[in-house]
Amino acid sequence: MSPSGSTSRRALLSASAATAAGASLIGGRAAEAAPAAPAARRVTAQPPGRDLVAMAREIDPGRIESIVRRLVAFGTRHTLSAQDDPERGIGAARDWIHAELRRIADASGGRMTVELQSYVQEPDGNRIPVPTTITNVVATLRGSAAPERVYVVSGHYDSRVSDVGNATDDAPGADDDASGVAVVMELARVMSTRTTEATVVFAAVAGEEQGLYGAGHMAQRFKAAGADVQGMFTNDIVGSPVADDGTADPRVVRLFAEGVPTSETPEQADVRRSVGGENDSPSRQLARFVRDVAENRATGMTVNVIYRRDRYLRGGDHIPFLEEGYPAARFTEPHEDYAHQHQDVRVEDGQQFGDLPEFCDMDYIARVARVNLATLWTLAQAPGTPTGVHIDTGDLTNSTTLVWTRGPEPDLAGYEVVWREPTEPEWTHVLDAGDTTTHTVDISKDNVFFGVRAVDRAGHRSPVAYPTPSR
């Protein structure tokens, strides 16, 4: 199809439906309906390559359990606990995580570097009563071809008990959130010996329970540096698939993704309301991408996307990134058992309370890690999300012309136009647009939702970019 060519919606949909059903488009009405140009096809998931399958097998539940139990062994990791005790408190946990990531980086051939990212949080009149040093442990795997493009994965290593200000009692924090830190550290180990095109940042952050402070500091640093963070995921409470009533979904993980962007300006809100983009934020496109690449044989998991920023009246470390305008989402277990979150360790009426490692499922955490791996590896190998994507509204017409800016990737093969009916949650149809920056489809922009994604020569596809109107 030529860059400026068009295809009728009726022909596109009838041809793609016939193809999906296995029908031949030779002879009869199907042949008459088929356009001369390639027909649209149904959107299909990106299958895992051999490299991803091999890496997924390296995710080790035994190593994950060792990380969880070692973090629990520090007694408490409360943000206000001791920072200079070598055995107990958040300082000891920080130093151990740092040493482990440094050891992993030493085997990376220079691709990975590790830093302690610290600042002093002044009293906030709430959960920080005195000036407190908050330190993130950050490992950066620098990309080879597009190092300026960044993806971040995090877990928080601080913990708490029932009283959020209690910095002395044991706060094991196995599920919340040693499980998430274990995912991050295991991903760093597996990915550190591989070459990625984009940069991947693995972060164990502090201060989450006191107000998302560590993640907030990291997001602000990225923003101040002008970093091109195209995706951020936090893993928070990913330790068990079992609910308080015993209900279990061991092959499901939830992914919370907001609709209306947290950082939306009044002008952007006006545009969104006019075109109906409340279900097409960058974070929603990121969530659709996760399902596209992470529901497969390499992970053995289903990703249950929740169209909400987070759970009711609660939050996680993705929120500071959303506030800075970065696409971000939260992985968390399918159910929660509140007897093992934010609880003093005790036995009451025969029931054990407390966030202890015996209530974590290490095989489940490993599967969540594989979901993260499939997502980050594919993001870091694929082209970046297209930029400058617009629908031309200069003329009133029943066809739709999309324009975008060509990406800088050296292995870029071209672009695809995707669309779906307004009531569909996922992209359903796709057309090859070729290596161009404009494409016209003979479907009214008023009747469907459009998007554009990039494709490289290996077949890796980027997240979809949702267009805004231009004249």
pTM value? 0.92
Angle CA(318)–CA(383)–CA(324) in degrees, nearest 5?
A: 25
Strands 198-205 and 146-156: parallel
The answer to whether the beta carbons of residues 240 and 260 sit under 8 Å apart is: no
Residues in contact with 171: Cβ distance below 8 Å, sequence separation at least 6, in sequence order? 75, 76, 77, 78, 159, 160, 161, 355
Omega within 30 of 0 (cis) for the link into 177: yes
How many other C-beta atoms are found inside a 10 Å radius of the C-beta of residue 124? 12
Reduced to 3 states, what is the DSSP secondary structure of residue 275? Answer: helix
Nearest alpha carbon to residue 69 among 356, 386, 397: 356
10-residue block means of pLDDT along the chain (471 residues)? 42 43 33 46 94 97 98 98 98 98 96 98 97 98 97 98 96 97 98 97 98 98 98 98 94 97 96 93 98 96 97 95 98 94 94 96 98 98 98 91 96 97 95 96 95 97 96 75
What pLDDT shows up at residue 40?
86
Q: How confident is the model at residue 471, as a pLDDT?
A: 75
Residue with tokens 């950050």: 138
Give burial (CB, 10 Å; 0-12/13-18/19+) of 286: buried
Residue 398: which H helix or E strand, with range?
none
Q: Are 40 and 12 in contact (CB under 8 A)?
A: yes
- Counted residue by residue, the chain has a size of 471
